[in-house]
Amino acid sequence: MVRVNSPSTVYVIGAAGQLGTALLASRAVPADVRIVGLRSSDIDITSNASVRSALADLRDGDVVVNAAAFTDVDGAETSRDVAYAVNADGPANLAAATAAARAHLIHVSTDYVFGRPTSEHGPWASPLEPSDLRGDAQPDTVYGASKLAGERAMAAADPNGVVVRTAWVFTGRPPVRDFVTTMCRLEGERDEITVVDDQRGSPTYAPDLADGLWELAASMLAGRSHGGSVVHATNAGEATWCDLARAVFTILGADPERVKPCSTEQFPRPAPRPPYSVLSAKSWKQEGLTPLRDWPDALRDALGAPTSG
C-alpha cells in the first residue's frame, strides 16, 4: 500500500452514484485518509457558490474525485442544457476550486468523447489511446460532446487535473440498474432475448475502477505528480454487448444461445452508440498504475461466481 502524506482528505463527488458508492465501499482506501462523500444534496457542481461552500475546507494536497455526471445518454439528446451544466460546467467549477487550493483533481470521463472514430483504412479496430482524440473532435452525441467539453474546461481551469476515461461500467447487483443486472433479470423472465452484437467496447466493473482510482489518489497524496494526464482505465479485454450478455447467462448456468445477436440498425436508440470504443490501458500503465483485471473474471466476481484464477 502506498504511504500517503497524512493527514489528507479525499472528497468524493457524486457519492450516491454507481461509481461513488463503489469508491466509498472500496477496500483500497489508503490508510490515514479522511473521506468526505458529497451527494447532490450536499453539493451542486453546476453552481460555483455551492462548490466553494462544500469545499471550503479543501487544502493544499487534498484530492477531489469527480464521479458525478449526467449519464443518461439518450436523455441528454433532449436535455442538452442540463447535460452541459453537469458534465461541462461542473468539472470547470471543481477545477477552479482545486486550482485555488493547490489540491488534486481526478475527473472521470467516458469513451463517448471519441464518438465514431475512423482511421485512414476505414473503421477503427485497435484499442483507443488518449492521443487518438483529435483536437477537432466532434462527438456525435450530446452526452459525448458535453463530457469532452468538461474535460477541456477542467484542463483550462486546473492544468494539473487528471482525466480518467472509462467505459461500459457495471456493478451487477441491485439496487444498481445496469446492463448486467438487466440481463440477470431478463434471464429469469424470457426464453430468449436479442442483444446488439456490432458495438464493441470495454466492460468495466465499478469496484475495480474504484480501486484503481484510489491507487491514483494515493499516488497523488504521496507526492507524485500526474498533472495534466489523460488516462484510460477499464477492465482488460473487449466484448460486444451480446458477448457480455452471453457471459452473464453462462455464469448464471443458463444456455448462452438464448441470447440472440442483432445489429444496431435493428435496435435504434435516440443517441447513436459508437461501434468501436475499446480503450487501451497503455496510458494507465505509463503512470505506474496497476492494470485492471480481465473483465470476465470481474463479471464472475460481480455475480458471486468463482473466478478463473
Place of cell 436479442: 194
| Model pLDDT for residues 259-282, shown as the tens digit of each residue | 999 999 999 999 999 999 999 999
CA–CA distances in Å: residue 9 to residues 5, 16, 206: 10, 18, 22
- 73-105 pLDDT per residue, tens: 999 999 999 999 999 999 999 999 999 999 999
> Residue 307: pLDDT band by 50, 70, 90 thresholds?
low
Residue pLDDT, tens place only, 105-153: 999 999 999 987 665 555 667 899 999 987 777 899 999 999 999 999 9
pLDDT of residue 116: 76
In whole angstroms, give the CA distance from residue 147 to residue 153. 10
Name the pLDDT band for 4 (thresholds 50, 70, 90). Answer: very low
For the entire predicted model, the pTM comes to: 0.94
Measured CA to CA, the distance from residue 56 to residue 204 in angstroms comes to 33
* pLDDT at position 301 over 90: yes
* pLDDT value at residue 227: 86
> What's the average model confidence in pLDDT over 1-8?
56
- Hunting for cell 481526478 — which residue is that? 106
| Residue 1 scores a pLDDT above 50 | no
Confidence at residue 118, expressed as pLDDT on a 0 to 100 scale: 63
* Cα(49)–Cα(43) distance, integer angstroms: 10
List 84, 112, 143, 276, catalytic entry: 143
Report all structural domains of the chain as residue ranges with CATH numbers, in order of start. 8-170+204-236+274-293 (3.40.50.720)
143 is catalytic: yes
| Residue 195, pLDDT above cutoff 60 | yes
Matching residue, cell 505528480: 225
Question: Tell me: the pLDDT tens digits for 15-70?
Answer: 999 999 999 999 999 988 999 999 999 999 999 999 999 999 999 999 999 999 99
Note the pLDDT of residue 84.
98
Convert the pLDDT of each residue in 208-238 to its tens digit. 999 999 999 999 999 888 989 999 999 999 9
